[in-house]
Structure 1
């Protein structure tokens, strides 16, 4: 079914590492044109060069998802370079784990800005394009922490991922018909997400917990599965975990 991936134009936020980078490599290998978005220009350019060297199509756009203007510019660049946008993968995320009593308000703000507002800014940028085309696909990366509150420590992170699920479901209901919406909810995946905690004990716990993590490729395959379905099939939700993960 990869003909449903071939020639699609796919924007991926958080593309410089982890799930974003793995997804870019996989989709490009199946013939998609990928537009890579993240803050680290050097990593983006290296990945774009790697994909092009393998015969794929890639464009790198330095993007901060906490800035609505950056997302507008990202979508505009994808349209200019490749002529259209078929899929937006809202993947950029931050996980800062600490008990609420630590009052890490700055980290709460960052998670809300990246995990919730970043997704909304992506939707705001791509939705008019999808509506004009009469087709499009939003893929929002949430978490198993959006199904069950990860506490103590992950209460605010879980709040942001519950929000992503709620926004995704409302989006599907409001614009479905020709526009598809998928929420991906991974468990422990080997990525830089585990490095986002400044609270020492929580950080040590997370790194220990992530010893069971599955490779980012596993999530990339789930994303590809959702994209490759025929246009009349909307895979709304995929939950995937390491087999041994209890939470």
Structure 2
């Protein structure tokens, strides 16, 4: 258990695999009360069952973060189940890598819907709760591709992750004081993110790049570090990569 995490109500989007799943396990072991959201209800229920079997508490909500009403329902479930929300982890993401010349506009729109609008919907849903409580913590998952443009191929993906960092900094400046804002920008971390590319050559390049990936728990520990700080300490940004990663 962690004194800075135990008893905190944490909402995690994209919780059915990868970073979200690893974070759920890590925070549950630290004593957090979890509300897990993702599109795959079977995966969510299996994860929640594992957490409960270990003595933890977890609720699940099937949700697509590209739908505002779904994200609102997740936060409402947290309030109904536990009476409050302490941490909103906006983790759901899509990485569809392809050169701009391939014209995969549908994939661009899907990345914007999930990576940018999904985060904004999370903010819109949780911010009124945080303001009413007089406390709260946003943790938004960006990427090293939001620090340096990943091109060719990742131009639009980088654009969405630069947006997450910009939105998070504006959010911190607007609501800081009682409400904390953290951006986590991972490099190659083992998750399903690497499977999002439909362009064959780009998918091969991504798979080769991810040979150096570090475990998803690496990000879970970074998230826990940000949460467990005293209320007057706001860890604003953490960038983490495999030691061998050049980009």
2: CA distance, partners of 1:53 / 1:82? 19
2: CA distance, partners of 1:72 / 1:164? 19
Deviation for aligned residue 1:78: 0.4
**1:245 corresponding residue in structure 2:** 245
Listed as ranges, the gaps of 5+ residues in structure 2 are none
**1:78 corresponding residue in structure 2:** 78
2: CA distance, partners of 1:23 / 1:34? 10
2: CA distance, partners of 1:130 / 1:62? 23
Instruction: Find the residue that maps to 1:4 and give its secondary structure.
Output: coil
1:98-138 alpha-carbon deviations (Å, 9 max, x no partner): 00000000000000000000000000000000000000000
**2:38 corresponding residue in structure 1:** 38
Question: How many residues are matched?
Answer: 247
Instruction: Find the residue that maps to 2:21 and give its secondary structure.
Output: helix
**1:116 corresponding residue in structure 2:** 116
Normalising by structure 1, what TM-score? 0.99
Instruction: Find the residue that maps to 1:2 and give its secondary structure.
Output: coil
1: CA distance, partners of 2:64 / 2:97? 22
**2:195 corresponding residue in structure 1:** 195
Listed as ranges, the gaps of 5+ residues in structure 1 are none
**1:29 corresponding residue in structure 2:** 29
Instruction: Find the residue that maps to 1:182 and give its secondary structure.
Output: strand
2: CA distance, partners of 1:2 / 1:146? 30
**1:52 corresponding residue in structure 2:** 52
2: CA distance, partners of 1:73 / 1:207? 35
1: CA distance, partners of 2:58 / 2:30? 13
Normalising by structure 2, what TM-score? 0.99
Matched, 1:152 2:125: no
Runs of at least 4 residues off by over 4 Å = none
Matched, 1:168 2:165: no
Q: Over aligned residue pairs, what C-alpha RMSD do you find?
A: 0.6
Deviation for aligned residue 1:4: 1.1
